[in-house]
Amino acid sequence: MKISEIKSCIVGPAISAEEFITEHFFLFLVKGNMNGYDGNKHYTLKIGESCVVRKNRLARYNKVRVNNEFEKIIFFFDEIFLRDFQKKHSISFLNHESKDTFIRLRKDNLINSFLLSLEPYYNGSGDISKTFSDLKREELLLILLQLHPELSDVLFDFGFPGRVDLEEFMQKNYRFNVSMERFAFLTGRSLSAFKRDFKTIFNETPNRWLTRRRLQEARFLIEQKRQRPTDIYLDLGFEDLSHFSFAFKKEFGVSASSL
């Protein structure tokens, strides 16, 4: 059996449509490509490549079919599993933590052999039965820590995000469509402290500022970059085109399409 013959598999919860990463996960691309963005950096993952996506980050990713095909393998490493793993195994910390949201892994036969070993455990829906899923997760994590010992500093850090510069954070991440509670958490604040600090810095509410900032960027992209509203509204954090169009005309007095 070849790697290219493996079907999509997810061990853990389904990936949320929300752009907040709730748990660390391993991702391997069997077929197709994937583009990712975390507010600071763009990432590209190609067929046969893998990465660890870290939790408590904002990220957007989209799949790119190659020959109309896209297959992926995903293993989630939730905190309960990681704490149990830490009790069983000796974990060394290197104080060499990557800052990337998508931590690229080098290609290795150990990973390929592990992926090939999954085939007998698939059930009809492309999942691995609960009986074996934790065993395979443990096996994979042992492999990853052998190949990339520095991952221990990422995966076994059970702390919460620290307090960050609110203005800098929001200017980098205003495109992400997540709740105020998520923004507050990621900036190291309670929701009430987040709203209070936001009002002090921006002199308006978070919801109003986010809408206005996204519309300003939309107008720039349409007028200066000649992009179409239909191509940009989702990337700017609007849930549907009609909401974007209504908000744009209300803000600027002209329709986005007329520009």
The answer on 173 and 74 residing in a single domain is no
The answer on 176 and 118 residing in a single domain is no
Stronger pLDDT, 129 or 246, i.e. the higher one = 246
Stronger pLDDT, 95 or 91, i.e. the higher one = 91
Q: Is residue 160 part of a domain?
A: no
The answer on 134 and 18 residing in a single domain is yes
The answer on 197 and 229 residing in a single domain is yes
Q: Tokens 């996960």 belong to which residue?
A: 25
Domain end: 93, 125, 155, which one? Answer: 155
Compute the mean pLDDT over every residue in the chain, rounded to the nearest whole number: 92
The answer on 135 and 228 residing in a single domain is no
The answer on 192 and 128 residing in a single domain is no
Beta bridge partners of 34: 45, 63
Q: Is residue 258 part of a domain?
A: no
Q: CATH code at 48?
A: 2.60.120.810
Q: Is residue 259 part of a domain?
A: no
Q: Does the structure show a pLDDT above 70 at 166? A: yes
DSSP 191-221: HHHHHHHHHHHHSS-HHHHHHHHHHHHHHHH
State residue 12's pLDDT score.
74
**Are 73 and 54 contacting, i.e. CB atoms less than 8 angstroms apart?**
no
Mean pLDDT of 122-151: 87
Q: Does the structure show a pLDDT above 70 at 209? A: yes
The answer on 109 and 54 residing in a single domain is yes
Q: CA 150 to CA 153: how far, in whole Å?
A: 6
The answer on 195 and 145 residing in a single domain is no
State residue 193's pLDDT score.
98
Q: Is residue 257 part of a domain?
A: no
113 pLDDT tier (thresholds 50, 70, 90): very high
The answer on 134 and 23 residing in a single domain is yes
The answer on 90 and 41 residing in a single domain is yes
Q: Does the structure show a pLDDT above 80 at 199? A: yes
Stronger pLDDT, 120 or 18, i.e. the higher one = 120
Q: CA 38 to CA 74: how far, in whole Å?
A: 19
Residue-wise over 184-217: b if at least 16 C-beta within 10 A, else e? bbbbebeeeebbebbeeebeeebeebbbebbbeb
**Are 114 and 132 contacting, i.e. CB atoms less than 8 angstroms apart?**
no
Q: Which of 114, 14, 239 is nearest to 247 (CA)?
A: 239
Residue type, 164: V
Q: Is residue 230 part of a domain?
A: yes
85 pLDDT tier (thresholds 50, 70, 90): very high
Q: Tokens 């107008």 belong to which residue?
A: 219
Mean pLDDT of 80-105: 91
- Give me the number of domains the chain comprises: 2
pLDDT tens, residue by residue, 222-250: 999 999 999 999 999 998 999 999 999 99
Domain end: 128, 155, 182, which one? Answer: 155
The answer on 104 and 205 residing in a single domain is no
Q: Is residue 161 part of a domain?
A: no
The proportion of the chain whose per-residue pLDDT surpasses 70, expressed as a percent, equals 96
Return phi, psi of residue 166, to 5°: -65, -45
Q: Does the structure show a pLDDT above 70 at 1? A: no
The answer on 126 and 8 residing in a single domain is yes
**Checking DSSP bridges between strand 60-64 and strand 33-37, what pairing results, if any?**
antiparallel
Output the furthest CA–CA distance in the chain (Å, rounded).
63
State residue 6's pLDDT score.
74
Q: Does the structure show a pLDDT above 70 at 15? A: no
Q: Does the structure show a pLDDT above 70 at 177? A: yes
Q: CATH code at 186?
A: 1.10.10.60
Q: Does the structure show a pLDDT above 90 at 99? A: no
User: Range with the lowest mean pLDDT among 163-172, 210-219, 234-243?
Assistant: 234-243
Domain end: 155, 174, 201, which one? Answer: 155
State residue 186's pLDDT score.
97
Where in the sequence is the domain holding 128, given as residue range(s)? 3-155
